[in-house]
Chain A
Amino acid sequence: MPNRLTRVLLAGAVTLALIAVAAPRVTAQGATVISGRIMSDAGAPVVGATITLGAAEAATISRADGTYRLPLPAGRTGAAQLSARRLGFKMVQQPITIAGSAMTVDFTLVPTATQLVGVTVTALGILAEKATVGTSQQTLSSADLTRTVTPNIMSSMSGKISGVQISQSGNMGGSSRIVIRGAGSILGENQPLFIIDGIPISNANFSTASAGGGRDYGSAAADINPDDIAELTVLKGPNAAALYGSRAANGAVVITTKSGRSSSVLDGTRFNFTTRMTSDAPSIMPKYQNRYGQGFGGEFKYVDGAGSGVNDGADESWGPMLDGRLIDQFFGKAQPWIAHPNNVKDYFQSGSTVSNNLNMVTSGKGMGSRLSITKEDVKGIVPNSSLAKLAGSLSASAVVNSKLTLSGSMQYTQNKGLNRPENGYTEGNPFMTFTWFGRQVDVGSLKNKYYNTGSPYGFADGSLYNWNDNYHRNPYWQQYENPAPDSREHIIGQLTANYAFNSWLSGILRTGSDSYRQTQEEHFAAGNIDRASPSYNGGFTASNARAQETNFEGILTARKSVGKFDFTVNGGGNIRRNDRFANGYSTGGILVAGIYNLSNAGIAPTYTNSETHSAVNSMYGSAVATYDRFWTVEVTGRNDWSSTLPKENASYFYPSINTSLVLSDAFPFIVRNKVLSSLKLRGGYALVGADAAAYQLQTLYNGSSNKFSGLPLYSLSNTSANPALKPERTTSTEGGVEFALFDDRVTIDATYFVKLTRDQILPLTIAPATGFTATTINAGQISNRGIEAMVSARVFKLSNGFQWTTSVNYANVKNKVDELAPGLATIILGGTWSTNIEARAGLPYGTIFGWGFKRDPATKELLLSDGFPQRASAKQVLGNVTPEWVGGWSNEFHYRNWSLSTLVDIQHGGQTFSVGNWWGSYAGILENTLSGREVEWNKPGLVVKGIDAATGKANTTVVTTEDYQHSIYPIVESAILPSGFAKLREMRLGYEVPQSFVKDLRLSQVNVALVGRNLYTWTAFPNYDPEYVANSGNAGRGLEMGALPSLRSIGLNITITP
Chain B
Amino acid sequence: MKYTRLSAGLVAIASLATMACKTDLTGLNTNPNSPTTAPATSLFSNATAGTMGRWNGSFQTLSMTSLFAQHIAQVQYVDEDRGHIRSTTVDGFYAGAYTAELEDYAKVIEQGKAATAPNVWGPAAVMQSWVFQNLTDLLGDIPYSEALKGDLGGSLKPKYDAQKDIYYGLLKTLTDASTAMKTATDAGLGSADLIYKGDQAKWVKFANSLRARMALRMSSADAAKAASELSAAFAAGVMTSNADNAMLAWPGDGVFDNPWAGNFATRDDHRVSKTLLDTMNALNDPRVKIYAQPTKNDATKYAGLQNGMDNVTVTPFFNTTSRPGAIFYPGATSYGTFGTAAGKKTPSYILTYAEVEFMQAEAAEKGLGGQTGAATHYNNAVTASITQWGGTATDAAAYLAQPGVAYVAGAEGLKRIGLQKWIALFTQGTEAWSEWRRTGNPASIKMGPSAYPDVLQVPRRILYASNEQSVNAASLAEAIARQGPDLYSTRVWWNK
Chain A positions near chain B (C-beta within 8 angstroms) = 23, 25, 296-297, 299, 304, 306-308, 310-311, 313-314, 403, 469-470, 499, 501-502, 505, 507, 509, 527, 529-530, 533-536, 552-556, 571-575, 588-589, 602-604, 606, 609-611, 613-619, 641-644, 646-647, 650-651, 694-695, 697-704, 706, 708-709, 711-718, 720-721, 764-773, 775, 823, 825-826, 828, 833-834, 836, 838, 849, 851, 865-866, 868, 870-871, 873-875, 963, 966-967, 969-970
B444 CB-CB contact with A under 8 Å = no
Q: Max chain A CB contacts within 10 Å: which of B95, B330, B475? A: B95
Chain A contacts for B30, CB-based, 8 A: 695, 698
Q: Are B311 and A770 neighbours in the complex by a CB distance under 8 Å?
A: no
Q: Are B319 and A534 neighbours in the complex by a CB distance under 8 Å?
A: no
Q: Nearest Cβ distance between residue B105 and chain A, in whole angstroms? A: 10
Q: Are A694 and B29 neighbours in the complex by a CB distance under 8 Å?
A: yes
Binary flags per residue of B18-43, CB closer than 8 Å to A gives 1, else 0? 01111111111111111111110111
* 8 A Cβ contacts from B412-457 to A: 452-454
Measured between alpha carbons, how far is A641 from B310 in the docked complex, in Å?
63
Q: Are B36 and A647 neighbours in the complex by a CB distance under 8 Å?
A: no
Q: Are B253 and A604 neighbours in the complex by a CB distance under 8 Å?
A: yes
B157 CB-CB contact with A under 8 Å = yes
Chain A contacts for B334, CB-based, 8 A: 469, 527, 529, 534
Q: Are B268 and A643 neighbours in the complex by a CB distance under 8 Å?
A: no
Indicate which residue in A297, A650, A698 contacts B312 across the interface (CB closer than 8 Å). Answer: A297
Chain B contacts for A403, CB-based, 8 A: 5
Q: Are B45 and A712 neighbours in the complex by a CB distance under 8 Å?
A: yes
Closest to A505 in B: B6
Closest to A310 in B: B315
Chain B contacts for A963, CB-based, 8 A: 310
Chain A contacts for B28, CB-based, 8 A: 613-615, 643
* 8 A Cβ contacts from B139-159 to A: 142-143, 146-151, 154-158
Chain A contacts for B154, CB-based, 8 A: 770
Closest to A849 in B: B470
Q: Are A718 and B35 neighbours in the complex by a CB distance under 8 Å?
A: no
Indicate which residue in A304, A573, A712, A765 contacts B20 across the interface (CB closer than 8 Å). Answer: A573
Measured between alpha carbons, how far is A966 from B310 in the docked complex, in Å?
10
Measured between alpha carbons, how far is A833 from B146 in the docked complex, in Å?
29
Q: Nearest Cβ distance between residue A8 and chain B, in whole angstroms? A: 25
Indicate which residue in B2, B107, B158, B311 contacts A767 across the interface (CB closer than 8 Å). Answer: B158
Measured between alpha carbons, how far is A767 from B41 in the docked complex, in Å?
27
Measured between alpha carbons, how far is A826 from B475 in the docked complex, in Å?
15
Q: Are A773 and B99 neighbours in the complex by a CB distance under 8 Å?
A: yes
Indicate which residue in B13, B23, B36, B485 contacts A701 across the interface (CB closer than 8 Å). Answer: B36
Chain A contacts for B100, CB-based, 8 A: 715, 718
Q: Nearest Cβ distance between residue B355 and chain A, in whole angstroms? A: 25
Chain B contacts for A573, CB-based, 8 A: 13, 16-17, 19-21
Indicate which residue in A695, A698, A717, A865 contacts B454 across the interface (CB closer than 8 Å). Answer: A865
Q: Are A534 and B20 neighbours in the complex by a CB distance under 8 Å?
A: no
With A588-B254, A767-B468, A771-B102 as known contacts, state yes or no: A700 contacts B34, CB within 8 Å.
yes
Measured between alpha carbons, how far is A880 from B27 in the docked complex, in Å?
42
* 8 A Cβ contacts from B3-17 to A: 5-6, 9-10, 12-13, 16-17
Q: Are B46 and A700 neighbours in the complex by a CB distance under 8 Å?
A: no
Chain A contacts for B50, CB-based, 8 A: 715
Indicate which residue in A499, A507, A771 contacts B99 across the interface (CB closer than 8 Å). Answer: A771
Measured between alpha carbons, how far is A741 from B161 in the docked complex, in Å?
71
Contacts A307-B75, A554-B17 given; 15 further ones with Cβ under 8 A?
A306-B335, A307-B319, A310-B316, A313-B318, A556-B13, A647-B23, A695-B31, A697-B29, A700-B35, A706-B256, A769-B472, A771-B99, A775-B156, A834-B91, A849-B470
Q: Are B330 and A535 neighbours in the complex by a CB distance under 8 Å?
A: yes
With A307-B76, A573-B16, A866-B453 as known contacts, state yes or no: A650 contacts B147, CB within 8 Å.
no
Chain A contacts for B164, CB-based, 8 A: none
With A307-B315, A708-B45, A767-B156 as known contacts, state yes or no: A617 contacts B99, CB within 8 Å.
no
B408 CB-CB contact with A under 8 Å = no
B180 CB-CB contact with A under 8 Å = no
B397 CB-CB contact with A under 8 Å = no
Q: Are B20 and A574 neighbours in the complex by a CB distance under 8 Å?
A: yes
Q: Are A650 and B23 neighbours in the complex by a CB distance under 8 Å?
A: yes
Interchain pairs with CB closer than 8 A, number:
322
Indicate which residue in B147, B148, B318, B453 contacts A308 across the interface (CB closer than 8 Å). Answer: B318
B483 CB-CB contact with A under 8 Å = no
28 A-B pairs with C-beta separation under 8 A: A310-B315, A507-B13, A509-B16, A554-B12, A554-B13, A617-B19, A619-B21, A641-B22, A646-B26, A647-B24, A698-B30, A698-B31, A701-B38, A704-B46, A706-B256, A711-B42, A712-B39, A714-B38, A715-B43, A768-B94, A769-B98, A769-B146, A769-B147, A769-B158, A771-B103, A772-B99, A849-B470, A970-B86
Q: Are B312 and A770 neighbours in the complex by a CB distance under 8 Å?
A: no
Q: Nearest Cβ distance between residue B367 and chain A, in whole angstroms? A: 39
A-B complex: 5 closest residue pairs judged by Cβ atoms: A770-B150, A603-B254, A769-B143, A297-B312, A771-B103
Measured between alpha carbons, how far is A701 from B10 in the docked complex, in Å?
48
How many residues of chain B have a CB within 8 Å of chain A?
112
With A706-B255, A712-B45, A826-B470 as known contacts, state yes or no: A766 contacts B330, CB within 8 Å.
no
Chain A contacts for B454, CB-based, 8 A: 865, 870-871
Measured between alpha carbons, how far is A574 from B22 in the docked complex, in Å?
11
Q: Nearest Cβ distance between residue B6 and chain A, in whole angstroms? A: 5
With A297-B311, A604-B254 as known contacts, state yes or no: A651 contacts B23, CB within 8 Å.
yes
Q: Nearest Cβ distance between residue B143 and chain A, in whole angstroms? A: 3
Measured between alpha carbons, how far is A611 from B32 in the docked complex, in Å?
7
Closest to B6 in A: A501
Closest to A873 in B: B486
Measured between alpha carbons, how far is A654 from B9 in the docked complex, in Å?
27
Chain B contacts for A642, CB-based, 8 A: 25
Measured between alpha carbons, how far is A804 from B475 in the docked complex, in Å?
64
Q: Nearest Cβ distance between residue A165 and chain B, in whole angstroms? A: 26
Q: Are A311 and B147 neighbours in the complex by a CB distance under 8 Å?
A: no
Binary flags per residue of B263-290, CB closer than 8 Å to A gives 1, else 0? 0011010000000000000000000000
Chain B contacts for A775, CB-based, 8 A: 150-151, 156
Q: Are A556 and B9 neighbours in the complex by a CB distance under 8 Å?
A: yes
Closest to A602 in B: B254
Q: Are B296 and A499 neighbours in the complex by a CB distance under 8 Å?
A: no
Measured between alpha carbons, how far is A874 from B149 in the docked complex, in Å?
27
Measured between alpha carbons, how far is A418 from B100 in the docked complex, in Å?
37
With A714-B38, A849-B470 as known contacts, state yes or no: A868 contacts B453, CB within 8 Å.
yes
Chain A contacts for B470, CB-based, 8 A: 765, 825-826, 828, 836, 838, 849, 875
Indicate which residue in A613, A716, A720, A771 contacts B43 across the interface (CB closer than 8 Å). Answer: A716
Measured between alpha carbons, how far is A868 from B454 in the docked complex, in Å?
11
Q: Max chain B CB contacts within 10 Å: which of A499, A574, A720, A826? A: A720
Q: Nearest Cβ distance between residue A293 and chain B, in whole angstroms? A: 15
Indicate which residue in A535, A770, A838 contacts B331 across the interface (CB closer than 8 Å). Answer: A535
Measured between alpha carbons, how far is A664 from B197 in the docked complex, in Å?
87
Q: Are A698 and B36 neighbours in the complex by a CB distance under 8 Å?
A: yes
Q: Are A823 and B157 neighbours in the complex by a CB distance under 8 Å?
A: yes
With A650-B23, A712-B45, A720-B151 as known contacts, state yes or no: A768 contacts B157, CB within 8 Å.
no
Binary flags per residue of B42-53, CB closer than 8 Å to A gives 1, else 0? 110111011000
Indicate which residue in B47, B268, B341, B467 contacts A307 across the interface (CB closer than 8 Å). Answer: B268
With A703-B34, A709-B251, A866-B453 as known contacts, state yes or no: A644 contacts B103, CB within 8 Å.
no
Q: Are A708 and B330 neighbours in the complex by a CB distance under 8 Å?
A: no
Q: Nearest Cβ distance between residue A866 and chain B, in whole angstroms? A: 5
B466 CB-CB contact with A under 8 Å = yes
Measured between alpha carbons, how far is A647 from B84 in the docked complex, in Å?
52
Q: Max chain B CB contacts within 10 Å: which of A553, A695, A967? A: A695
Q: Are B469 and A875 neighbours in the complex by a CB distance under 8 Å?
A: yes
Q: Are A836 and B467 neighbours in the complex by a CB distance under 8 Å?
A: yes
Measured between alpha carbons, how far is A767 from B143 in the docked complex, in Å?
10
Q: Nearest Cβ distance between residue A639 and chain B, in whole angstroms? A: 8
Closest to A832 in B: B88
B192 CB-CB contact with A under 8 Å = yes
